[in-house]
Amino acid sequence: MKVYKILYIAMVLLKEKLKEIQTENIKKEVKVGIIGAGYVGLVTAAGLAYKGYNVLLVEKDKEKLKKIKQGICPFYEPDLQRYLLEGIESGRLSFRENISELVSECRYIFVCVGTPIKDDSTYDMYYLDIVAKEIANNLKNDFRIIIIRSTVPPGTGRWFKKAILRYRRGVKANFEVVSMPEFLREGNAIYDFFNPSRIIIGSDNYDIGKEVSELYSDFGAPILIVSLEEAEIIKLASNAFLAMRISFINSIANLAEVFDSNIENIRLGIGLDPRIGTEFLKAGIGFGGSCLPKDLSALISVFNNYQINPILFEAVKIINDERIDIFINKIKKALWNIKNKILTVWGVSFKANTDDIRESPALKIIPKLVQEGAFINVYDPKGLHNFQSYIQKNYPHFSNSIKLIENIYESTVNSSAILITNDWDEYKRVNYYNIYELMETPIIIDGRNIVNPLEMREIGFEYYSIGNNIK
């Protein structure tokens, strides 16, 4: 009896192993093309290669591509470099010079190019149009599935299809377009790639949607196959909802300050309702980054375009824009005078764990303080190099008033106040006793509510935060 049991278990294990080997071999044969090696494209490329797929990557920026080919990640994203190197060394991640090679080799082509917004707050379709043209000019008889991962307004997938057909000028083409919005968070992109909350696949053709979903069948995430437009709306609505939660709590923080209340208590009290929860309810100086502000503005344009009232989203944006002045006023109120004072800004990336400074609140706060005569010492664990380029390009005349400092302690020497503008863990770990000694006047104005008020006050700091007037 015992022998039979052991034999049975061995057979089950062998079957499982064979299935695994078979799946691995199938994956190796599946060629996936990726267009664009930004945050989305590079993470997808390295991640799919790690999962066993044969990934081919095209990136038009030659400098960026050169670094990537050497296994160097062109931006800071935790763990990405490790996966990138592993992909290259395993031979599962390789590079192609142009899109035509991807089209001839890969059944699946992921489009991960940028979709910035223009001055009129509508999405710029320029990069997608170029990709559509290149694909159209190189489609042959083999069937191709083009998967749009860029964030786009509803209707884009259908336009993309139409654009390809137009560029073909009547010559038959064998392809399908799928919308597959990306939900990764910068700073957590690798974790999010391997642990997605959901896989949304938009397609006119259910069988194609199902086929694409097979690529992600072992990710353990719920997979939802919907229409092209539904997928596009899901992405924009998700970002708008997150933005709305942040503006919501920031509005409540304004009220909390009037009554000398602590927004953290209020947040907890609201969030204990399981229908609400505490995620994305952190009061601060507002949201930034390459996604929320852009996608919110573009959603407002989409609503206007279809004569739908965008008032809810306009309010979210107005409340977010106001955060900058509210913070500046808090600084001025705390300091009495800021002219000729050294102020230390901790944080130029839009949040912790990234060097991405796009739409970071600090980009608006620092120039306003300089305009009022302050000298700024800037520290950020990873964002300084991008910030330096930003200042050189946009505010070259401010360069004498802004000092970039690579050591957090040094950044506080003779400073009149520390202004915390993003949420790196490092700010919680520094020795505030030492910092207290280095500063001219020991004041902290915490725009992210990340350090412990009681500890700061015990050391002797004057501490101000958001949604909390308690002395």
Enumerate binding residues for ligand NAD (CB under 6 A).
Answer: 35-41, 58-61, 64, 112-115, 127, 130-131, 150-151, 182, 184, 186, 290-291
Instruction: Work out how close the CB of 121 gets to ligand NAD at its nearest, in angstroms, rounded to a whole number.
Output: 14
Residues belonging to the active site: 291
Instruction: Work out how close the CB of 397 gets to ligand NAD at its nearest, in angstroms, rounded to a whole number.
Output: 28
User: Smaller CB distance to ligand NAD: residue 291 or 369?
Assistant: 291
User: Smaller CB distance to ligand NAD: residue 188 or 401?
Assistant: 188
443-446 and 462-464 strand pairing: parallel
Per DSSP (E only), the strands in 217-274 are 223-226
SS3 content of the chain, % helix, strand, coil (to 5): 50, 15, 35
Per DSSP (E only), the strands in 156-198 are 175-179
Residue nearest to ligand NAD (CB): 38
Tell me the HSE value of 330 on the side-chain side, using a 13 A CA sphere: 28
CB 172 within 8 A of CB 141: no
User: Smaller CB distance to ligand NAD: residue 115 or 353?
Assistant: 115
CB 19 within 8 A of CB 27: no
Instruction: Work out how close the CB of 37 gets to ligand NAD at its nearest, in angstroms, rounded to a whole number.
Output: 5
Instruction: Work out how close the CB of 134 gets to ligand NAD at its nearest, in angstroms, rounded to a whole number.
Output: 7
Which run of H or of E encompasses 31?
Answer: strand 31-35
User: Smaller CB distance to ligand NAD: residue 38 or 453?
Assistant: 38
Question: Looking up tokens 């300084």, which residue turns up?
Answer: 384
Rounded Cα–Cα distance for residues 386 and 391 (Å) = 9
Instruction: Work out how close the CB of 471 gets to ligand NAD at its nearest, in angstroms, rounded to a whole number.
Output: 39
User: Smaller CB distance to ligand NAD: residue 151 or 468?
Assistant: 151
And the tokens for 307?
A: 């004569």
Q: Which residues contact 12 (CB under 8 A, 6 or more apart)?
A: none
Rounded Cα–Cα distance for residues 270 and 306 (Å) = 35
Which run of H or of E encompasses 57?
Answer: strand 54-58
Instruction: Work out how close the CB of 213 gets to ligand NAD at its nearest, in angstroms, rounded to a whole number.
Output: 19
Q: CA distances (Å), 173 to each of 136, 137, 141, 157, in order?
A: 8, 10, 7, 16
User: Smaller CB distance to ligand NAD: residue 290 or 344?
Assistant: 290
User: Smaller CB distance to ligand NAD: residue 109 or 370?
Assistant: 109
Burial class (CB in 10 A: 0-12, 13-18, 19+), 446: buried
Rounded Cα–Cα distance for residues 198 and 201 (Å) = 10
**CA 180 to chain centroid:** 16
CB 353 within 8 A of CB 424: yes
Residue type at position 193: F
User: Smaller CB distance to ligand NAD: residue 42 or 328?
Assistant: 42
Question: Looking up tokens 């501490």, which residue turns up?
Answer: 463
Q: Which residues contact 410 (CB under 8 A, 6 or more apart)?
A: none
Instruction: Work out how close the CB of 291 gets to ligand NAD at its nearest, in angstroms, rounded to a whole number.
Output: 5
Question: Looking up tokens 């391997």, which residue turns up?
Answer: 194
Instruction: Work out how close the CB of 151 gets to ligand NAD at its nearest, in angstroms, rounded to a whole number.
Output: 4
